[in-house]
A and B are shown apart, each in its own frame.
Chain A
Amino acid sequence: MIDNTGELVYQAARLIQFGLRPRTRPVQEPEYHQLVTRFLDHAEFRGIVKEMATGLGMTVLDASELGLVLGPTEDSVFSVHPASVLKRQTPDDRLLDGLVQVAIAATVFPRAQDLEDTSTSARPPVTVDEVEESVRALCQRLDEEAKGRPDPTSDEGTTGLYEAWRVYNGRSAARETPDKRQAARTTRRIIETNLELLHDWGCFNRTETDGAYQSTWRYQVLVKELAATKTHEHVRKLLEGGTN
Chain B
Amino acid sequence: MPGWANHLTEKTRVLLHIIPLIELRQGDARVAPSLRHYDGLALALKVFDLIVDHMGLDREIDKALVLKTLSPMLSSMDAAEGLAPDIKAHEAMTDRVLAALRNDAEARRPFAHSYQDFEDDGRALRRTLEFRLVSDEFHPSGGTTLRLSNEAVNLYLRALELDIEDAQAAAEAVVQSQLARGKFDEAAESARVAHLQSVRYQEKLDRILRDTQRDVRRVDWKDAVPRLLDDARDHISTRLRTEETIIQAARDRLEMLPDEQTRSHVTLVYDLSCKCRLRHTELHQRLMQARNVFLEAHERQALAGHMVTRAPEIYADIFRPLMAASKAASGDILSHSAPLFIGAQASPGTSLKSLVLWMLKPKRPPTAPDILIEQASLAEIASEAPRFPEALMAEIRAILKGLPSPTTLSALLAELKTRNLSVESRQLLALMALEQFASDATEGGPVEVARSPGRFIESDEFAGDELKIAPRNEVLS
Residues of A at under 8 Å CB distance from B?
19-22, 25-27, 40-41, 58, 61, 64-66, 69-72, 76-82, 84-86, 91-92, 94-95, 97-99, 101-103, 105-106, 109-116, 120-124, 134-135, 138-139, 142, 159-165, 167-168, 177-179, 181, 183-185, 198, 201, 203, 205, 214, 216-219, 222-224, 226-232, 234-235, 238-239, 243-244
- Residues A161 and B341 in contact, CB atoms below 8 Å apart: no
- Residues B107 and A124 in contact, CB atoms below 8 Å apart: yes
Majority SS of interface residues in chain B? mixed
The answer, yes or no, to whether B213 is at the interface (CB within 8 Å) is: no
- Residues A203 and B342 in contact, CB atoms below 8 Å apart: yes
* 27 A–B pairs (Cβ distance < 8 Å), ordered by A: A27-B141, A76-B344, A77-B347, A80-B339, A95-B331, A98-B330, A98-B338, A99-B319, A99-B334, A102-B319, A102-B322, A112-B312, A122-B135, A122-B136, A161-B328, A164-B324, A165-B323, A177-B372, A178-B368, A178-B372, A181-B370, A198-B341, A203-B342, A217-B138, A235-B321, A239-B321, A244-B324
**Which residue of B136, B323, B344 contacts A78 across the interface (Cβ within 8 Å)?**
B344
Q: Give the complex CA separation of A98 and B336 in angstroms.
A: 10
- Residues on B with C-beta less than 8 A from A226 are 340, 343
The answer, yes or no, to whether B144 is at the interface (CB within 8 Å) is: yes
- Residues B320 and A138 in contact, CB atoms below 8 Å apart: yes
- Residues on A with C-beta less than 8 A from B331 are 91, 94-95, 98, 160, 164
- Residues on B with C-beta less than 8 A from A120 are 137-138
Within 8 A of A (CB), among B85-99: none
Q: Give the complex CA separation of A109 and B311 in angstroms.
A: 11
Closest to B339 in A: A80
B195 to chain A, nearest CB (A): 9
Q: Give the complex CA separation of A177 and B373 in angstroms.
A: 8
Interface size class of B (residues with CB under 8 A): 35 or more
- Residues B370 and A183 in contact, CB atoms below 8 Å apart: yes
Q: Give the complex CA separation of A74 and B21 in angstroms.
A: 49
Query: A20 with B346: in contact, given A82-B339, A121-B136, A226-B340 (CB under 8 Å)?
Result: yes
- Residues on A with C-beta less than 8 A from B135 are 121-122
A169 to chain B, nearest CB (A): 10
- Residues B333 and A58 in contact, CB atoms below 8 Å apart: no
**Which residue of B142, B311, B336, B343 contacts A70 across the interface (Cβ within 8 Å)?**
B343
- Residues B314 and A109 in contact, CB atoms below 8 Å apart: yes
The answer, yes or no, to whether B443 is at the interface (CB within 8 Å) is: no
Q: Give the complex CA separation of A234 and B58 in angstroms.
A: 42
Please name the 5 residue pairs, one residue from A and one from B, whose CB atoms are nearest each other, closest first: A98-B334, A160-B328, A27-B140, A227-B340, A232-B312
- Residues B318 and A102 in contact, CB atoms below 8 Å apart: yes
- Residues A19 and B334 in contact, CB atoms below 8 Å apart: no
B280 to chain A, nearest CB (A): 14
**Which residue of A78, A95, A159, A227 contacts B341 across the interface (Cβ within 8 Å)?**
A227
- Residues on A with C-beta less than 8 A from B323 are 99, 135, 138-139, 142, 163-165, 168
**Residue among B107, B312, B328, B343 having the largest count of chain A Cβ atoms under 10 Å:** B343
Closest to A223 in B: B341
A129 to chain B, nearest CB (A): 15
Q: Give the complex CA separation of A142 and B323 in angstroms.
A: 9
Query: A72 with B339: in contact, given A20-B346, A99-B330 (CB under 8 Å)?
Result: yes
Q: Mark B245-286, 1 if CB is under 8 A from A, else 0.
A: 000000000000000000000000000000100000000000
**Which residue of B196, B322, B347 contacts A65 across the interface (Cβ within 8 Å)?**
B196
The answer, yes or no, to whether B199 is at the interface (CB within 8 Å) is: yes
A75 to chain B, nearest CB (A): 11
Closest to A166 in B: B327
- Residues B318 and A235 in contact, CB atoms below 8 Å apart: yes
- Residues on A with C-beta less than 8 A from B104 are 124
Q: Mark B154-168, 1 if CB is under 8 A from A, else 0.
A: 000000000000000
Q: Mark B366-394, 1 if CB is under 8 A from A, else 0.
A: 00111111010000000000000000000
- Residues on A with C-beta less than 8 A from B336 are 82, 234
Closest to B310 in A: A112
- Residues B199 and A40 in contact, CB atoms below 8 Å apart: yes
